[in-house]
Structure 1
């Protein structure tokens, strides 16, 4: 078994997962005001622009779910967390990763302490990510969320099945999908720590796209709301 090759493949998967998770954040944080911002809904009002507003909201939600599910894909030639954890749970591969991460930290007593810290930290991050992965995969306690979203993707989002597969078991709630979104981000963060010693906090990424959305939607209003270029003030009664 070529451990170096396996580690290189896992690194490629983790890098791709970061890209998809970042894309999911961009779509989700752009969609959130359209779904939950009551003031924005009030400004839109009963507007002719409401049709396009709904189309954009649905498109953002669709693209967010597709990006999120690409992180969890199980196709042989695609990005997929299952293959990542299948590899990292092979003791020899994990040891090879630790040796690679430790690098030259193996000489003095201080170097040995540092090497032990790196090794322990690497294992801790992989274990934390693995626990979250197991929660949603197959028979995990929240596996119904994954099943629900995968069926939704396969029958309506990525394909249009004329005789759609029925979802067995309970549907995923909006709160459960939100938790799945956040747990996926945490998995990617942990894997980046373990593989690259990269301390990425995706809350910062979220904050960037929240700011973009706030400035954008701050100007969004219907033609019956003051500030719209086609707004006409109602005539006062005589």
Structure 2
């Protein structure tokens, strides 16, 4: 086995996972106010503008789920967390990764030994944490039904339009389970970035950026039946008289 080649592949996989996870965050945090902001819902009201509001909400949710699932794809020529963890769980590959991380650090043999031990422990811990979360959703993991549901959803509604949609065996994934899956996927990517690239990325910071963008955007959004809309139209009461 060419460990250097395997590590290069792992590094590319982790970079791709970071890109998709960041994309999922952008879509999810832009969508969240549309799902949960009651004041925004009141401003939209029963308006013609609400029709496009619903279209945008559905599109953002769709793109978020597709980006999230691309992190978990398992095609030969695509990003594959399964292949990444299979490789990282091979002792020779892990040793080669740690050696690469510790190479040419200080030139002091005593300090380099201490540093190597620290990096080895840190790498192992991050890989185990990420691997445990991966196992939770993969195949027979305790939350594998979430993955199964989302794959069926993608294949029948999001990416394809089948005439005879599949059914999920067992329970469907609820919104709270999808939210947990979203956050666990972020944690997996963060841990892999630590272990493979020695990069400390807190995706809560990424979330905060897109939350701010979304807040400033959605604060100005309202339907035409709400005062402040450029095409404001006063609503009618039950008798058809303008209020």
TM-score by length of 1: 0.96
Post-superposition CA distance 1:76-116 (Å, at most 9, x none): 11101111101111111111101001112474322211111
Is residue 2:159 matched to residue 1:136?
Answer: no
After TM superposition, give the deviation of residue 232 of structure 1 in Å: 4.5
Q: How does 1:1-12 map to 2 (within 5 A)?
A: 1-12=1-12
After TM superposition, give the deviation of residue 234 of structure 1 in Å: 7.2
CA distance in structure 2 between the partners assigned to 1:26 and 1:80 by the alignment:
21
Moved more, 12-21 or 161-170: 161-170
Post-superposition CA distance 1:32-73 (Å, at most 9, x none): 000000000001011110110000000000000000000000
Is residue 2:167 matched to residue 1:166?
Answer: yes
Aligned to 1:23: 23
The answer as to whether partners of 2:62 and 2:158 remain within 8 angstroms in 1 is: yes
CA distance in structure 2 between the partners assigned to 1:113 and 1:75 by the alignment:
40
Aligned to 1:178: 179
Point out where structure 1 has 5 or more consecutive residues left out of the alignment.
Answer: none
Aligned to 2:221: 220
Is residue 2:42 matched to residue 1:42?
Answer: yes
After TM superposition, give the deviation of residue 164 of structure 1 in Å: 1.5
Aligned to 1:204: 205
RMSD: 1.5
Post-superposition CA distance 1:138-172 (Å, at most 9, x none): 00000000000011111111111111221101100
TM-score by length of 2: 0.94
Summarize the Cα distance change of 1:103–1:35 in structure 2 as closer, same or farther, 3 Å threshold: same
Summarize the Cα distance change of 1:147–1:233 in structure 2 as closer, same or farther, 3 Å threshold: closer
Aligned residue pair count: 237
